[in-house]
């Protein structure tokens, strides 16, 4: 596993204690740049920008992850499915199926605070 980043108290609340940032407050909710979204805690690459879409839910939404990078864990209440970084176990958010937003019919609802972004330069 990659070296873990020192987290702020707010980041710890979400990533380690499974909290949620307020809707429409995260820096990646309306983010449209081309690149890779990685785990804030360990740097593992999780999502590609081409899989990001606007769902109107207030958090960044992706309809696919980089294969093998995001783990799904049923919540104790059985109603939702948590998603965590496969490498470090950091909380990302929840995944929802069957909503019809995209042809893949999947929405990863991710806290911006759980992510870092690396832009991919456009080739001329």
Which pair of tokens denotes residue 91? Answer: 């909380």
CB 106 within 8 A of CB 64: yes
Q: From its phi and psi, is residue 100 left (phi > 0), alpha (psi between -120 and 50) or beta? A: left
Q: Which residues contact 88 (CB under 8 A, 6 or more apart)?
A: 1, 4, 39, 41, 42, 44
Active site residue 57: no
| Residue 112 main-chain phi, psi, to 5 deg | -55, -35
* Residues with catalytic roles: 109
């Amino acid at each position: 596993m990659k070296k873990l980043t020192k987290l702020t108290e707010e980041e710890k609340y979400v990533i380690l204690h499974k909290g949620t940032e307020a809707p429409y407050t995260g820096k990646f909710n309306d983010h449209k740049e081309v690149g890779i979204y990685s785990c804030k805690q360990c740097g593992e690459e999780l999502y590609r920008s081409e899989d990001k879409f606007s769902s109107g839910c207030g958090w960044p939404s992706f309809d696919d992850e980089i294969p093998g990078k995001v783990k799904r864990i049923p919540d104790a209440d059985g109603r939702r499915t948590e998603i965590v970084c496969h490498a470090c176990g950091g909380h990302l958010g929840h995944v929802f199926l069957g909503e019809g937003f995209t042809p893949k019919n999947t929405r990863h609802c991710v806290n911006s605070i759980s992510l870092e972004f690396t832009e991919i330069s456009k080739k001329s």
